[in-house]
Structure 1
Amino acid sequence: MRRWSIATRLFALQFIVILALTAGAVAVIWADARADVDRDAADRSLAVAETIAHDPFVERAVAQADPTSTLQPYAVDIMAATGVDFVTIMSPDRIRYTHRDPSEIGKQFIGTIDRALAGQSFTETYTGTLGPSVRAVVPIRAVDSDGSGPVIALVSVGITVSNTQIALGERITTVLIAAALALLVGGAASWALSRYLRRVTAGRGAEEMSRMFAYYEGVLHSIGEGLVLQDTARNVVLYNDRAAELLGIPPIRADRRADPAAVPLGKLPLADEVAAVLARHDVAVDEIVITPTHVLVVDRDRIVARGGFVGTVTTLRDHTRLQELTGELATMTTLSDALRSQAHEFANRLHTIIALIELDRAPEAAELAVSELELSQRLADRILTAVEEPVLLALLLGKSAQAAERGVTLDVVLPQRIPGAAVPPQELITIVGNLIDNALDAVAGSAGAVVRVEVEPFEASAGLRISVADSGAGPDPEVADRLFERGVSTKRTEGHGIGLALVRQAVARQGGSISVEGSRFTVVLPATAESTRLAEADR
């Protein structure tokens, strides 16, 4: 059985509350109106009774031998003129002189008269011959010089309850119409609100919404990709733990996940590259964003609900390790290609040496073999004796072979010894490999092309200073300030502009710095706790 939706429950609750409030208001108004009608009837009856009691005509008439003959027509005229239901004039011993029903004349009055006999006027609700009525009883005094003569008769004027209810009904009709209108307006407002809630909640119940929130919460914080939700003003509404890790911002506390407040982009410690992407309005597909610590692939889409555009969702994938592996693969590929080229070249030279030997020209063959091996062997021996890190060793050997193929002289200046693990191997590949590639691309094809690589330890051999320079003129001054931004390159062809950005990122991860002076790029990598420990162990 499907449970009621939130909209239906809210509509039913509001309608019941409105109905109860309307009923309560009608009851209160009914009681107040009834009290007003009874009070008006009592006041009118008292006013008419006192007027009659102070009429000299009545005083003279009650003193006659037959008061009824004079007072009954008088009472009938009073009833017709004032709209009261009865006017009863009686003797102090309750004998009626007048009555609405002539057959009741001469009989005893039914009601309270003690207070009137004592000289007081009063009102009451009492059931007499005409049924329940609101009546006033007033004493009729003999005219005296001081106005306090004896009570010679009594007058009772009243309005039956049935007539008061008629007056009450006229008032209640208005009240009921107003209550019906209030109920109608309140019901319409509740229906409109429930319709809106049904639209925005898709007719789901509270329990279903709670389960959906729990599911979405679990998915949001368990996926391996970063997720950032923004509203139409580009404020960050929600992000998961992975996004906080990739963007370097504090995670949302668990007690605020149910109702997180939107945070303006400017208040989050975001990298400029990421902030620029999140501040845009367009859709992004597989866009590469390089931050000081990560290489991110960004996908961004618009969120459109039934009411229109409501915000954007951005997913972040970490490709830092992929870029590192790509760099390592490129280095190994370079070394492999260089070795294959050298093998082909050595085969040609070996055939030449064999031919010289067959021609009985052994001295020339020996001289050719030694001269060709001397330069490369000297470089290899220098690198092998100085570099203890195998990855850097392979990188430098591979780049030297690659430089030779491209007609560039690679001059490597190394200290007596570079301790292993001073810098993580993957960071060395990214830094040194991209700087050498950049230099080779800059001078390849030019006359007398030279690339110089200098590696110098400092801080008791725990830190490294790496310098790569070429014989070219250096980068264009117009792009020098933006050279380490992604997509900025001095090359004309596409597919460039990421190598130096990766260098900057790797240097930042190591807490180092990079500077450019002409065609010389200098990277300073400070000592770390691990590199210091290894340097001290080697001493």
Structure 2
Amino acid sequence: MRSWWRLLWRRSRPSSLAGQAIALQVAVIAVIVLAGSALALVDARRDGEAAARQQVVGIATAVADAPSTAAAIESNRATEVLQPVTEAVRTNTDIAFITIMSPDRTRYTHTDPRQIGGKYIGTVEPALRGETFSEEYTGTLGPSVRAIVPVRGTDGRVVGLVSAGITQQTLAQRWREQIPTIAVVALGALLLSLVGVWAIRRRLFRQTHGLRPDELRVMYEHHDAILHSVSEGLVVLDGDRVVLVNDEARRLLGLGPGRVTPGELPEFLRCHEPGVRDEVHVTDERVLVVNRSLVVGGPSVSRPSEVVTIRDRTELQGALGELSSLQVLTDSLRSQAHEAANKLHTVITMVEMGRPEDAVTFATEELAVSQRLVDRLSADVGEPALLALLIGKSAQADERGIALTITEDTHLPSSSDLVPLSATEMTTVLGNLVDNAMDACDRDDPWIEVTVTLDDDVLLLRVADSGPGMDAETFTRAMQRGYSTKSGTDADQHGLGLALVAQVVLRHDGTLTADVTYGSVVTVTVPGGAR
């Protein structure tokens, strides 16, 4: 039998979270309504008894204070005069009895005329002392609530007593008459509560999709595990609130543990830019790729909810910088090989024409110039990666018709311990500055000047060009995030230049300045010991 009841309970018990929550609410509401109804009945009974006491005290006092009552008692005609009066008052006030008696308890009046002349059953001592009081007592009519009031004669003496009472049966009948009203009110409250609970159940069922509590718990645990183990940063924004920040996002954005406020987020996350795809942002430490998607049907109206994913591109950006430098050098070598083939055909033709001296002069003229540049840079620049970058950029500038000059002041020792920047960082800084200069120089008079020095442990990288330069506001914007003065594809490809430079410089407590003197000049200084 017990197993059958357990099986029945399991089958009838609601499985969804909404059903279980509503079942619990219905049970609580039913208990509250029943308890409230019981308390209402108890209160009605107590109020009925209190009202009955006030009623009998009032009636007994009114009868006792009537001059005719004392006069009838003193004239020895009490029963004759007062019996009709008390019965009329009792009938009109719907009480059980009004008994007038002598001080020795002898009844003058009674509801049952056969009791007249008998002794009153109850307490009379306080009334004989001139006090008015009430009590619960069992008399000839059964248990009753009664009041006893003294009757005073013309000389102030107590000449009689008046007792008025209501039986407990009458009181019980009075408060039982209130049960239907209380029941109707309780039923109405219960029905109204059930309607509200049903509306709550519908809403809760839609929001939880009818899932059971264990299913919601498993879903939450899996959801939480995935969010914190995913390799991409994830930020969920709901209007002006930060709803969720996973571990990777905290690492990439430099956020501490605990609740995250909007003010702690970078500027590019505080602004509302829905629908962003693969947008690159540069922070003080990292290069980040950001995607932003709107949450359809989010709770916020003024600013919809967003899901922001963040990928780290810092190492990839450095590798791309190195690859770009190698690509420049490769393109330069390929171009030189193609040009050398053309020159070789020319030299062979001159020899065949019987002009060997002219062939030698033609073959060695430009080679000597290039070799002198390579020899000078090899002697002055001890860092192989930077040397390759400068040679490659010189060839690239020559192909584009730009006069790139590496000043005689350029000097960098081969000892890496003395240089505050790594080889990768130097190629990132100088490569981006030269690329920007190539794009910005005056097409009518294109020239670039590069200086790399290390004096008193302070590394200086300076790139000047014939372009118009940037004002302070534009330069600041270009350093803050991948901003470009160009548009279209060029902006997408080169907009990170100054931002990457600024990132490296800031990391080593250096300075990045721009001015327009003999041209547009951008200067980077990094103090020694910064690595």
Shorter-chain TM-score category? Answer: 0.7 to 0.9
Partner letter of residue 53 of structure 2? R
2:451 corresponding residue in structure 1: 454
Q: Is the Cα contact below 8 Å between 1:229 and 1:239 reproduced in 2? A: yes
2:285 corresponding residue in structure 1: 293
Q: Is the Cα contact below 8 Å between 2:16 and 2:213 reproduced in 1? A: no
Distance 2:161 2:513 in 1: 120
Alignment of 1:182-221 (within 5 A): 182-183=189-190, 196-202=203-209, 212-221=219-228
Of residues 274, 279, 290, the one that matches 1:282 is 274
Q: Does 1:243 align with 2:235?
A: no
Alignment of 1:100-499 (within 5 A): 100-105=111-116, 109-113=120-124, 122-137=133-148, 143=153, 146-148=155-157, 155-169=162-176, 178-183=185-190, 196-202=203-209, 212-232=219-239, 234-248=240-254, 250-253=255-258, 256=259, 263-264=261-262, 267-268=263-264, 270=266, 275-276=267-268, 278-305=270-297, 309=301, 310-359=304-353, 361-413=355-407, 415-421=410-416, 422=419, 423-442=421-440, 446=444, 449-459=446-456, 462-470=457-465, 472-475=466-469, 481=475, 484=479, 486-489=482-485, 494-495=490-491, 497-498=494-495, 499=497
CA 1:399–1:307: 2 relative to 1, 3 Å: closer
Partner letter of residue 134 of structure 2? T
- Does the residue aligned with 2:459 lie in a helix, a strand or coil? strand
2:504 corresponding residue in structure 1: 506
Q: Is the Cα contact below 8 Å between 2:377 and 2:387 reproduced in 1? A: yes
What per-residue deviation string (whole Å, max 9, x for no partner) do you get for residues 334-389 of structure 1?
Answer: 21122122222223333333444455544333333332321111112222223232
- Does the residue aligned with 1:317 lie in a helix, a strand or coil? strand
Distance 1:92 1:77 in 2: 24
Q: What is the Cα deviation at residue 445 of structure 1?
A: 6.5
More moved, 280-289 vs 190-199: 190-199
More moved, 296-305 vs 94-103: 94-103
Distance 1:30 1:118 in 2: 34
Q: Does 1:86 align with 2:97?
A: yes
Q: Is the Cα contact below 8 Å between 1:244 and 1:251 reproduced in 2? A: yes
Partner letter of residue 276 of structure 2? A
Alignment of 1:37-76 (within 5 A): 37-47=51-61, 50-51=64-65, 55-59=69-73, 63=76, 72-76=83-87
Of residues 49, 65, 78, the one that matches 1:35 is 49
Distance 2:284 2:351 in 1: 60
Q: What is the Cα deviation at residue 80 of structure 1?
A: 3.4
Partner letter of residue 256 of structure 2? P
Q: What is the Cα deviation at residue 33 of structure 1?
A: 1.0
CA 1:214–1:458: 2 relative to 1, 3 Å: farther
CA 1:176–1:53: 2 relative to 1, 3 Å: farther
- Does the residue aligned with 1:87 lie in a helix, a strand or coil? strand
Q: Is the Cα contact below 8 Å between 2:107 and 2:118 reproduced in 1? A: yes
Distance 1:517 1:68 in 2: 127
Q: Is the Cα contact below 8 Å between 1:240 and 1:251 reproduced in 2? A: no
Distance 1:432 1:83 in 2: 111
- Does the residue aligned with 1:55 lie in a helix, a strand or coil? helix
Partner letter of residue 270 of structure 2? L
CA 1:15–1:381: 2 relative to 1, 3 Å: same
Q: How high is the sequence identity, in percent, across the aligned residues?
A: 37
Q: What is the Cα deviation at residue 168 of structure 1?
A: 3.3
CA 1:468–1:52: 2 relative to 1, 3 Å: closer
More moved, 402-411 vs 204-213: 204-213
- Does the residue aligned with 1:332 lie in a helix, a strand or coil? helix
- Does the residue aligned with 1:285 lie in a helix, a strand or coil? coil
Distance 1:212 1:176 in 2: 45
